Structure 1
Amino acid sequence: MNITRENVDAVNAVVKVDIAKEDYSDKVEKILTDYRKTANIPGFRKGHVPMGMVKKQYGKAVLVDEVNKLLQEALNKYLTEEKLDVLAQPLPKKQDEIDWDADNFSFEFELGLAPEFEVNLKGKKAITQYNIVADNKMIDEQIERLQKKYGKLISQDTVEKNSEVTGTFTNEEKEINNTVTLFLDKFKSKSTAKLFVGAKVGDVITLKTKGLYENELDLTRVLNISAEEAKDLDIEVLFTITEVNKRELAELNQELFDKLFGKDEITSEAELKARIKEDAENQFVQQADQKFLNDVTEYLIENTKFDLPAEFLTKWMQAASEEEIDEEKAKEQYEKSEKSLRCQLIEGKIAKEHNIEVSVVDLKNHAQDMIKAQMAQFGQPNPSEKELDDIARRILSNTEEARRISEQLVSQKLLAVYKENANIKVKEVTYEKFVKEVYGDK
């Protein structure tokens, strides 16, 4: 057997595999001999069928099968030994119909090679790393929400600006009939809230659904309809008031502190504000990190230039597709996936250069950390090691879940590399300003 490679260019190559008779003849002969021992052919006793008849009936199929096995084994071994970094799988080149009556065979395969390139993390333009802080306004609003949550409801005769108004939305034509509690400051327009002020139990208020809320999800909630039904809904609905209450804020005292954080964990308003600030900013870190990771990734894709075997990958996508697609469709699929492929190659190179790996121990520890955080949310802050081990084992036995956790860990390790090596400017902002800068006014 002889294997040769011709490099077409930096990212394309053709491998030729020559298979001679001596490479496969012994295997084919052995299989046919075994067939002869077990073949059931009318007119002959088992084991006494003439070899010529066995070869005539089975020889061609056995030959094809063995040559194909030999071909795949040789090709895989060659790629491994030559340490070729290939993209996708080798594609057999189109050739004239194979003469299986010949002794020697030649096969050619197209290869798409991973490009050689350098990654420069320190670009001229600095990438913003946001440090999101909780300002006094946010802390005060959170404290007020907690006071409302643990406060008392006091019944009212008439609706005031800060009242909680319970009632039923109805519309016969759309079969809407849903009881809900409304907060007047949630309406998109202040003029809508004014319709309620001064109203009493039993009063009926007519509202237009169009523009009632800033977010259509709020409309789906109060009317109990689907998102599809809420989209562009423009009808009148009636709201019949059945209850009016005022929320008396809970006092900022030790009783409230203990309810929120456990006995004597917090003992003053100053400590409460510090704790709320700390918890909020810990949550902001994840959002800031994700933004930074996205920005570095975009920068690397934009500024790391290399060629890809586009024509080869397009043909491979066409050949590998589960459903038959034409060349134009395959090209469209390639163009959609090219950015993702570039990202994978860049991240793979960075991971290799910085020895980023995910071990079984890493997976287990990360899974256990996730489990502990979730259990703490449900009031189980101290699970036993056996509980953690059992749950982690179940999670990681799911291949898809294990892959997802592994990708999370790689992202975390890449993030650490970027923070250490990229050209960064740190920008401290409030959460409100962060949202405006990153997502625009919403």
Structure 2
Amino acid sequence: MNITKENIDDLNAVVKINITEEDYQNKVAEILQDYRKKANIPGFRKGHVPMSLVKKQYEKPVLIDEVNKLLQESLSKFLVEEKLDILGNPLPKTQEDFSWDADQFSFEFELGLAPQFEVNLQPKKAITSYKIIADKKMLNDQIENIQERYGKMISQTDIAENSNITGTFVNEEKEIEKKSTFKLDKVKGKTNKKSFIGAKVGDVITLKTKGLFTDDHLLQNHLGVAHDDAHGLDIEVQFTVEEISETEPADLNQELYDKLFGEGVVKDEKEFKSRLKEDAEKQFEQQSDQQLLNAVTEGLIESTKFDLPAEFLQKWIAVAGEKQLTEQEAEEEYTRSEKGLRYQLIEGKISKDNNLQVTFEELKEFAKGFIKSQMAQYGNANPEEKELDEIAGRILGNQEEAKRLSEQLMSQKLLTFYKENVKLKAKEVSFDDFVKEVYK
């Protein structure tokens, strides 16, 4: 057997494999001999079938199977030994004059080679790293929500501006009959609010659904209609008032602090506000980190220039899936996936150059941390180490779950690396400003 590689250019190569009769004949003869021993052919005793008959019936399919095995094994071994960094898989070249009746065979495979490039982690324009601050307005809104949530419900005789209203919406034609509770301040428009003001338990109010609430999603929830139906819904409904109340806000006192954070953890209003701010900003870290990862990814793709074996990749995409694609379909799929492929190569280069890898022990500890946080949500804040080990073992035994967790851990490692090595510009913003700037 003889294997050679010919470079077409920096991104494309052809591997040629020549297989002679000496490479496969012993294995083929061994298999045919085994067939002879086991063959049941009418007119012959088992094990006494003439070899000529066995060869006539089985030699060619056995030869084809063995040559293909030899071909795949030798090609895989060659790629590893030559340390070839390829994209996609080798593609066999069609040979019009090929025949399995020959004694020697020659095969050619096209290769798409990964490009050589360097990653610049210090672009001219620094990437913005956001720190989201819980501003005074956000904290005040959160405190009001907490006071209302833990407040005392007081019955009212008639509906006022500050009322909580419970009742049933009815429309027979649309088969709507839904009991709901809402605050009057969620009702939109002076005319609609005026319909409620002064109403008592038992009163029936006729309303138009169009523009009834401040958000169409509230209309969906309170009327029990489908999402698509809620948008632009313009019908008449009858609302029967069943309960009226107002919420007396809870006092900011030790009793409330203990309910929220545990006994004695927070001791006064200053500590309460400080803890709310700290918790809110900790929740925002995940969003700002994801934004930074996205921004760095886009920045690296933009600043790291290299060519790809586009023609080869399009040919490979055409035949790689369950269904073969047309040339146009393959080109469109390549266009959609090119950016992702570029970042895969950049990420691989960064990981290799900086020894960023996920070990099994790291993955196991990461899985245990994830499990522990999940269990804490259900009241088990201190699970035993043995229990965590057993659950982590089961999760990592699932290949898909193990892959998902491994990708999450690698993203964390890359994020930490980027924070330490990429040219960043820190910027403090409120959550509203963050949304405006990032998702504008």
What's 2:313 paired with?
313
Distance change (3 Å), C-alpha of 1:370 and 1:158: same
Rounded to whole Å, the distance in 2 between the matches of 1:306 and 1:325 is 26
Rounded to whole Å, the distance in 2 between the matches of 1:102 and 1:227 is 68
Rounded to whole Å, the distance in 2 between the matches of 1:93 and 1:207 is 72
What's 1:64 paired with?
64
What's 1:142 paired with?
142
Rounded to whole Å, the distance in 1 between the matches of 2:247 and 2:277 is 25
Name the stretch that deviates more: 211-220 or 248-257: 211-220
What's 1:157 paired with?
157
Rounded to whole Å, the distance in 2 between the matches of 1:401 and 1:195 is 54
Alignment identity in percent? 62
Task: After superposition, give the CA deviation of every residue in 1:190-239 in whole Å (9 maximum; x if it has no partner).
Answer: 65444433333233334443444454433321121222332443333332
What's 1:179 paired with?
179
Rounded to whole Å, the distance in 1 between the matches of 2:363 and 2:278 is 28
Letter in 1 for 2:115: P
Work out the number of aligned pairs and report it.
Answer: 440
What's 1:267 paired with?
267
What's 1:290 paired with?
290
Aligned residue runs from structure 1 range 192-231, under 5 A = 192-213=192-213, 215-231=215-231
Deviation at residue 425 of structure 1 after TM alignment: 0.8
Structure 1 position 167 matched with structure 2 position 167:
yes
What's 2:31 paired with?
31
Q: Which TM-score applies when normalising by structure 2?
A: 0.96
Task: After superposition, give the CA deviation of every residue in 1:308-336 in whole Å (9 maximum; x if it has no partner).
Answer: 11111111111122124311112111111
**Structure 2 gaps, min length 5:** none
What's 1:20 paired with?
20
Distance change (3 Å), C-alpha of 1:62 and 1:250: same
Distance change (3 Å), C-alpha of 1:53 and 1:123: same
Rounded to whole Å, the distance in 2 between the matches of 1:152 and 1:135 is 28
What's 1:235 paired with?
235
Rounded to whole Å, the distance in 2 between the matches of 1:380 and 1:193 is 46
Name the stretch that deviates more: 353-362 or 381-390: 381-390
Task: After superposition, give the CA deviation of every residue in 1:84-114 in whole Å (9 maximum; x if it has no partner).
Answer: 1111111111111531111100011111111
Rounded to whole Å, the distance in 2 between the matches of 1:202 and 1:255 is 37
Query: Once superposed, what is the RMSD of the aligned Cα atoms?
Result: 1.7
Q: Secondary structure at the match of 2:8?
A: strand
Rounded to whole Å, the distance in 1 between the matches of 2:190 and 2:316 is 59
**Structure 1 gaps, min length 5:** none
Rounded to whole Å, the distance in 2 between the matches of 1:93 and 1:291 is 44
Name the stretch that deviates more: 178-187 or 245-254: 178-187
Letter in 2 for 1:411: S
Structure 1 position 407 matched with structure 2 position 407:
yes
Task: After superposition, give the CA deviation of every residue in 1:318-362 in whole Å (9 maximum; x if it has no partner).
Answer: 112212431111211111111111111111111111111111111
What's 1:342 paired with?
342
Distance change (3 Å), C-alpha of 1:226 and 1:259: same
Q: Secondary structure at the match of 2:98?
A: coil
Q: Which TM-score applies when normalising by structure 1?
A: 0.95
Distance change (3 Å), C-alpha of 1:205 and 1:307: farther
Name the stretch that deviates more: 107-116 or 319-328: 319-328
Structure 1 position 370 matched with structure 2 position 364:
no
What's 2:353 paired with?
353
Task: After superposition, give the CA deviation of every residue in 1:363-412 in whole Å (9 maximum; x if it has no partner).
Answer: 11111111222222222211111221222222222211111111111111
Rounded to whole Å, the distance in 2 between the matches of 1:187 and 1:8 is 71
Rounded to whole Å, the distance in 2 between the matches of 1:238 and 1:82 is 78
Deviation at residue 301 of structure 1 after TM alignment: 1.2
Structure 1 position 424 matched with structure 2 position 424:
yes
Aligned residue runs from structure 1 range 83-102, under 5 A = 83-96=83-96, 98-102=98-102
Task: After superposition, give the CA deviation of every residue in 1:110-169 in whole Å (9 maximum; x if it has no partner).
Answer: 111111111111111111111111122222221221111111100112222221111112
What's 2:55 paired with?
55
Letter in 2 for 1:151: G
Rounded to whole Å, the distance in 1 between the matches of 2:437 and 2:184 is 28
